[in-house]
Chain A
Amino acid sequence: MKTFSFKRTSSIFVTELKIKIRPFAIWVASIIGLTFLYMLLFPMVKDIALAKLESMPPEILAMFGMEDVGAIMNYNYFFGMIYQLFSIVFCGYAVAQGASIFQNEETNGTIEYLYANNISRSEIFAAKSGTVLTRIFILSLCALIPALISGAAVAPDVLSAKTLILCSVITLAAMLFYASLGFLLGSVLKRNYPASGIGLGILLVMYFIGYTSELVEDLSFFKWFSPTHILSPQDIINSTWGVGTTAYEPWGLVILSVLAVIMAVIAYLLYQRKDLQ
């Protein structure tokens, strides 16, 4: 008897995708719609947006990664500013999904059905975490592809596809970090503790700690407590990896990727021994 069957794992994976298709379809439609809306409107809104943004306090702009408002006149920078907001939403989605994959089934009682079948917890973990990873990957494509199409339509001369793809990759890394954090919370917490809510709380606390680093120069090291700041799309655009001139330091990406793997492994090990509540 094989301890890990790809066929059985695929069955759980496909079923998991199918039974939650409606809420995910709403997310996909919303992200595609919003990306097209913002990016196709770029030629019309850039001047108005510039005027409005220039009247706002720099601290507020910094909160959304918009320190240089003049950069909004460039499509790639404009995408970076919009995508900075998307990245927080995406990370929220990732941590909530990661935390709920086991807890939802425990709360609904359906996990008992899976456990009673001829499948191992490793297969369940692989299938369910695979579902989350697939969803966040699709979601990041739902922002990238419309942005590339819109860029080709409204700013073909300045569009840097490589920059936009790197922004997506860096945000995907942040999403993977938060998905792993979600897996860990879902494996550690009992079902009466809302893992998704706690995950979202951690995301917001980390985000505001990162924001503090932009407000207070002496606390600039706070950036290293906020994955959404460490893996900021704006940093990619401003660097030589994007369309800027500064050097990009990939250490944050490396450290967060390693942490994501460590959290996922710990979540896997804890899940193997988790009692059904």
Chain B
Amino acid sequence: MAAIEIKNLTKIYGKIKANDDISLSVNKGEIYGFIGKNGAGKSTTIRILLNFNYATSGSATILGCDCARESKKIKEFTAYVPGEVYFYPEMKVKDLLNYSIALNPNENRGKARELCEYFELSENRYIKELSLGNRKKVSLVQALMKDSSVMIFDEPTNGLDPLIQEKLFALLLEKKKNGATIFLSSHNLFEVEKYCDRVCIIKDGKIVLESDMETMNKARSLIVSFVTAKGAAEKFDYEGDINSLTKKLAEKDLVSLEIKHSSLEEKFMSYYGEDK
């Protein structure tokens, strides 16, 4: 059984098709990267998974539970970090965490305290006093303090400094080692490339690529760029035999040469290039 299974999911808002017949499957214990530009349909997909919104057609399940009908059960074992974090501004961080514990019996106050220390977050500050990054930390503590088998994170590093980002992924990798499944929606392609086992690109509500990172790495083309002594600059993708490439390059009188593997960013841009 897949951890997350989406089948032929369509969501229409008025005249806009936010999700257009999408299907995907996330295996247990993997980190699954979900990428696409703003308005591509990422948040709509997440909202349907968490039953904030209802699908127009199709189905979605988390650990076999139907997202629309068994939403409350799903939230027992699913943690969520929203892209934009909004809490009650009049509350202190500790009050909010206590509120979350009151609503979720399997959450743990001791764990919350540990996580606040880990993320360098003061529990005595009011939500209204917190910066975007600190509000994100509250959201992370709130999501991670329960022992969840599925985690849905929407832009979890948005607003966090690089050190806290590293700490977050260290923790997520540990959770993954213990069998947790992480659905990571992100604009940060570097972190998706670095930490995800599989990746999915969504564009205009449709999935345009779903692949595991290993296959993607093998299939990566080379990006070759050089400048000749006569000043001619050239850049091209190369997918053929590498020895043929070096022979061809040796015939030229080069002053500079760069050969690198294409990154996830280039793959992403190849789908979105025409939108620029």
**A residues in contact (CB < 8 Å) with B:** 1, 3, 7-8, 11-12, 15, 19, 108-110, 112-113, 115-120, 273, 275-276
Contact among A108, A109, A118, A276 for B72, CB-based, below 8 A: A118
Interface size on B, residues (CB 8 A): 26
Within the assembled complex, what's the spacing in Å between the Cα atoms of A8 and B107? Answer: 13
CB distance from B27 to the nearest CB of A (A): 23
A-B pairs with the 6 shortest C-beta distances? A109-B86, A11-B102, A276-B52, A275-B53, A118-B75, A117-B103
Selected contact of A109 from candidates B51, B71, B84, B91, CB within 8 Å:
B84
Contacts across chains A and B counted by CB atoms under 8 Å: 59
Per-residue interface assignment for chain B, residues 73 to 85, with 1 indicating a CB less than 8 Å from any chain A CB and 0 otherwise: 1011000101010
- Cα A1 to Cα B105 with chains together (Å): 12
Distance of A108 Cα from B73 Cα, bound (Å): 26
Q: Flag if B54 contacts A273 (CB, 8 Å).
A: yes
* Nearest A residue to B81, CB-CB: A116
The answer to whether B86 and A110 have CB atoms under 8 Å apart is: yes
Instruction: List, in ascending order, chain B residues with CB within 8 A of A276's CB.
Output: 47, 52-53
Enumerate chain A residues within 8 angstroms of B51, measured Cβ to Cβ: 115
| A125 CB, min distance to chain B CBs, angstroms | 14
Residue pair B86, A115 in contact (C-beta under 8 Å): no
Taking CB as reference atom, which chain A residue is nearest B48? A275
Do A118 and B52 have beta carbons less than 8 Å apart? no
Q: Tell me which of A7, A112, A117, A120 contacts B100 (CB under 8 A).
A: A117
- Alpha-carbon distance A120/B13, docked complex (angstroms): 24
Residues of A within 8 A of B105 (CB): 118
Q: Are B84 and A118 in contact (CB under 8 A)?
A: no
B210: min CB distance to chain A, Å: 26
Whole-angstrom CA separation of A116 from B153 in the bound complex = 12
Residues of chain B within 8 A (CB-CB) of A15 are 88, 99
CA distance A237 to B51 in the complex (A): 51
Complex-state Cα separation, A8 to B50, whole angstroms:
19
Contacts A15-B99, A118-B75, A120-B72 given; does A113 touch B86 at CB 8 Å: yes
